[in-house]
Structure 1
Amino acid sequence: MKRSVRVTAVAALLVAAAATGLTVVAARAEEPSVAAASGFYVDPRSGPAQWVAAHPADGRAAGIKSSISSKPMARWFGDWSGNIGTAVGGYVGAAARAGKMPVLVSYNLPQIDVCGKESADGGSSGASAYRTWIAAFADSIRDRPAMVILEPDSLADLDCLGASAASTRLGLLKFATEQFRDRAPKATVYLDGGNSVYRTAPVTADRLSKAGIQNVRGFSLNVSNFHTTAQESAFAEKVNDQLAAQGLERVPYVVDTSRNGKGGNGSWCNPDARQIGTTSAIQDLDGKGLEARIWIKAPGQSDGTCGIAPNTPAGTFDPQIAYDLIHGY
C-alpha cells in the first residue's frame, strides 16, 4: 500500500485488524500533496517581511522584498511563541484559508543549541514542560495540512550532553513523533538529522531510529547550514542505507536550501560570501528520496554574534546579511 494512504483507510484497517487480532503498524503521514498542488505558504510576519514593511525607504528593501520576503519559508516556534496552541493554530489556520502548505519548525527542547551555544538560553525548562508543549503543538494542527521540521540539531548535538540527558532527549523526541502521528494525521513531519559533515551516516541513522523515525514522514538535513543539495542528498542516501540495514523503511528527506547557493566554506556562523539557494518547492513525491527543497532558515537571520554580524544576536534579522546573501557577497 502506498505510504500516502488516507487516514480513513488506516482507520478501516485498524478496525479489521482488531476483529482478527492482528497487529498493525501505523502508516506514515500523507505526502505533502497540498504543497505540490498549491505551493507553500508565504509568512506575512517573517523577519524579512517585517523589516521591509518598517524600512520602505532603505535602499536594500526592494531587493530583500523581491528575493527573500516574498518567498515561502518556515516559521520557527519556541519558548518565545507565547501560548503554543494559539500560535500554531493561528498560523496553520491562516495557511489553510490561503490554500497553501505552511512550514513550521519546533525548536524548544531542554538545552537547545547545547553545542553551538548561540541560542542556549532558550528551550523548555524540563522534560515535563516539553511534553506538554509539543503535545499542544501537534494538537493545534488537528487535521489540517502542515509540514513540520522537528527540533533542528537535536540529534547531532547529543555528543554535547551527558549520557542521562542524551537518553532523556531521545525519549522526548520519540514522544514528539508519537504526538504528531496521533494528533496531526495530515502533518508531514521530518525529524532533523543534522548535516553531512556534523555526524556520520551510521550515527545519524542510529539516532533517527531511536528517536522514532518510523512514526513520521522522514528526516531533514542542512537546517541553518550551507552545504549543497547534492552533498546532502548523497549523505541522505547513506543514512537511508543504514536505516535499511537496521530493518527499517527507507524514508524521504528534505534539505534546507535557504543559504546553500554557493555551498559552505567551513564556517556555520554568519560566514561571508554565501548565497541564497533554490526557493521552497516540492522535488518528488515518490516517497524514496529528496522530497522537497525548503527555506527552513530565514535568509538574513543571524546565526549569532559572530562572522559578518558580530553584534547581531541569534535569531535576529539583519538586512545586511540578507542583502549580501542575495548578491553572494
Structure 2
Amino acid sequence: MTVRPAPVRRRFGMPRWLLFTLLGLAALVILAILAGVGSLITWGVQTLSARPPAVGTTVVAPDESKAARALDALEEGTPEYEATAYLAEQPTTYWLTPEEDPLGEATSRVTTLAAEARDTGTALSVAIYGLPGRDCGNFSAGGLAEEDYATWIEEIARGLNAAPDVQKIVILEPDSLALAPECGNVEERIRQLRNAIDRLGGTNTWIYVDGGHSNWVPAAEMAALIDALDRDDAIRGFATNVSNYNHSTEEFVYAHELSDLLGGAHAIVDTSRSGAGSNGDWCNPSGRLIGEPGGTLGDEVVDTNLWVKPPGESDGTCNGGPAAGVWWPEAAVELTREAH
C-alpha cells in the first residue's frame, strides 16, 4: 500500500501574492483618504480666509509708513513727535508709488508688507498710485509710461498672489476715474485700469476702483465711468473720499446712491481725515481732524471704512504745505489735537 504524505497546512488561508496585493491596495486607499481630508482642510481654510472686508477688519500699520520713518528726524517729547508716533501706530493704507517703490522693487515691497500683516494677524491695504499722467499735472503729477506701468502692475500682482492667506485690499488709482473727464483721457484711463484689474485679481484680493466723493462728480456720471470698466466680476466695488475730508455720513449716502446705479457694487469709505467734515477746500485745509478708526463703520453697501490717505502727509504745496506725499509734522499735530 502506498502511503501518501500528509497535506501541508498553510498558515494563511490565501496565497501570499494575493494577500500582499490586498494589503497594498488597502494602503493606497488609506493614503488617498488622508490626502482627501488634507485637501478638504486646506480648501476650508482658504474659503474661510477669503472673505471681503467688513466691520471689524483691521489693516496693518506698516513699518515702512512715512509716519514711522519720520520719527528718526523728530525730537522725542515734542508735539510733532507725539502726534507722528500716534499716527504711525494706526492701521493705515500703504501707498505704492513709482517714486517710493520703483520698477524692480515693487514685488519685494508687497511681499514684506504681506508678511507684516500675516505676523500681526491683520489685513493688508494698499493704494496703487502710478498711472500714466497721474493727477493731470497737478500737485501729485507723475506716473509711469504705459509700458512701464504694465510691468509695475505685474510686479505688484506677483507680490499679492504670493500671499493667498492674507486678506488684501487694493485701492486702485485714486482720482483716476473722477479726474478723467477733466483730463480729457477717459478712454485711455478705462483701458489702463481694465488691464490693471485683469492682472491684479487673485485669491483673497479685493479691488476697489476710484469712486470720487460726494462733493465732486455727480453719482450718475461717476457710475457711468465705473460701469465702462466692464469688470464687475473682477472688482469688489469702489472707494470714496480718498484723500478728502467729507464727513462719513455724507459719503455713506453717496456710496448708496452710486451702488444703486451700479447694481449693488460695494464700497470702502476713507475716514482718515473726516472728523471735522470738509470746509470745501481739498488741499491742506486748516481745522481738520482724523476721523473714525478703520473697520468701525459699515452696512450692506459700505463694506467698511479705512484710513486710506495717511493723515500727516501733505496734499501738495498749498496752504503752507510741502510737496504732495511729504510728511508734514505740523499737520499731524493739528489732525490729532483731540485724539491724545
TM-score when normalising by structure 1 = 0.81
8 Å contact kept, 2:68–2:88: yes
Instruction: Give the C-alpha shift of residue 66 in structure 1.
Output: 5.7
8 Å contact kept, 1:192–1:219: yes
Question: Which residue matches 1:289?
Answer: 301
Question: Which residue matches 1:16?
Answer: none
1:174 maps onto 2:194 in alignment: yes
Aligned length: 286
Instruction: Give the C-alpha shift of residue 32 in structure 1.
Output: 2.7
Q: Secondary structure at the match of 1:36?
A: coil
1:317 maps onto 2:327 in alignment: yes
How is 1:211-222 mapped onto 2 (pairs within 5 angstroms)?
A: 211=229, 212-222=231-241
2: CA distance, partners of 1:327 / 1:61: 11
1:50 maps onto 2:69 in alignment: yes
Question: Which residue matches 1:68?
Answer: 87
Instruction: Give the C-alpha shift of residue 58 in structure 1.
Output: 4.9
Structure 1 stretches lacking a partner, 5+ long: 1-6, 10-28, 245-249
Instruction: Give the C-alpha shift of residue 72 in structure 1.
Output: 0.8
1:106 maps onto 2:125 in alignment: no
Question: Which residue matches 1:31?
Answer: 52
Instruction: Give the C-alpha shift of residue 213 in structure 1.
Output: 4.1
2: CA distance, partners of 1:214 / 1:230: 28
2: CA distance, partners of 1:136 / 1:47: 22
1: CA distance, partners of 2:272 / 2:120: 23
Instruction: Give the C-alpha shift of residue 62 in structure 1.
Output: 5.2
1:196 maps onto 2:196 in alignment: no
Q: Let me know the Cα RMSD of the aligned residues.
A: 2.2
Identify which of 178, 192, 208 aligns with 2:226: 208
8 Å contact kept, 2:157–2:199: yes
2: CA distance, partners of 1:69 / 1:217: 28
Question: Which residue matches 1:254?
Answer: 268
Instruction: Give the C-alpha shift of residue 139 in structure 1.
Output: 2.2
Instruction: Give the C-alpha shift of residue 53 in structure 1.
Output: 3.7
Deviations 1:51-76 (CA, angstroms, capped at 9, x unpaired)? 22432425114531564221111110
Question: Which residue matches 2:155?
Answer: 136
The 3 A distance-change label for structure 1 pair 99 and 75 is same
Q: Secondary structure at the match of 2:174?
A: coil
2: CA distance, partners of 1:65 / 1:112: 28
Question: Which residue matches 1:23?
Answer: none
The 3 A distance-change label for structure 1 pair 213 and 266 is farther
Identify which of 161, 167, 177 aligns with 1:155: 177
1: CA distance, partners of 2:75 / 2:286: 25
Identify which of 298, 323, 336 aligns with 1:326: 336
Larger Rg belongs to? 2
Q: Secondary structure at the match of 2:68?
A: helix
The 3 A distance-change label for structure 1 pair 198 and 49 is same
TM-score when normalising by structure 2 = 0.78
Q: Secondary structure at the match of 1:224?
A: coil
2: CA distance, partners of 1:61 / 1:221: 29
Question: Which residue matches 1:96?
Answer: 118
Amino acid at match of 1:289: V
The 3 A distance-change label for structure 1 pair 313 and 276 is same
Instruction: Give the C-alpha shift of residue 293 in structure 1.
Output: 1.3
1: CA distance, partners of 2:81 / 2:150: 42
1: CA distance, partners of 2:98 / 2:254: 32
Structure 2 stretches lacking a partner, 5+ long: 1-41, 45-49
8 Å contact kept, 1:156–1:199: yes
Question: Which residue matches 2:21?
Answer: none
How is 1:259-278 mapped onto 2 (pairs within 5 angstroms)?
A: 259-278=273-292
Question: Which residue matches 1:12?
Answer: none
1:300 maps onto 2:308 in alignment: no
Amino acid at match of 2:329: P
The 3 A distance-change label for structure 1 pair 319 and 218 is same
Q: Secondary structure at the match of 2:135?
A: coil
1:124 maps onto 2:133 in alignment: no
8 Å contact kept, 2:126–2:169: yes
